Amino acid sequence: MSQHLLESISSKPTVAPLERPQRHNPEQALVLSALAPESVVDHLDDDAEPVELITFGTVRECCPGCQHTHLRLVLRQRRVRLAHLFCTQCHGCFDAHYTNGQSALTI
């Protein structure tokens, strides 16, 4: 036998405030380190051919070089050896880790 509970419906809609995680804890701050693009992406013998990377969204961190372009997440794939953050403006590659040394890009 199933039992249904009825809740009273108020005439005023309740709106929960949107909460974002705050990074006030220094251990949660990200440290970005520049990576040599050839160390994370395999190139073919013909460097004139562009490498197609699949990116998985924009992160809130900005490129340390450009300082205005949000970085994009690139996970390991056929020609990508190492998950990293990528700047579409300057084509820079970056590793991200926390101040305690733990990688931020490990699943």
Maximal CA-CA distance, the chain: 70
Residue 100, SS3 per DSSP: coil
How far apart, in whole angstroms, are the C-alpha atoms of residue 47 and residue 45?
A: 6
Other beta carbons within 10 angstroms of residue 75's beta carbon come to: 14
> In terms of pTM, does the model score above 0.85?
no
High-pLDDT (> 70) share of the chain, %: 65
Give 50-75 pLDDT, tens digit per residue. 667 788 888 989 999 888 899 999 99
Q: Confidence band (pLDDT; 50, 70, 90) for 9? A: very low
Averaged pLDDT for residues 38-51:
72
Give residue 46's pLDDT: 60
Mean pLDDT of all residues belonging to the chain: 76
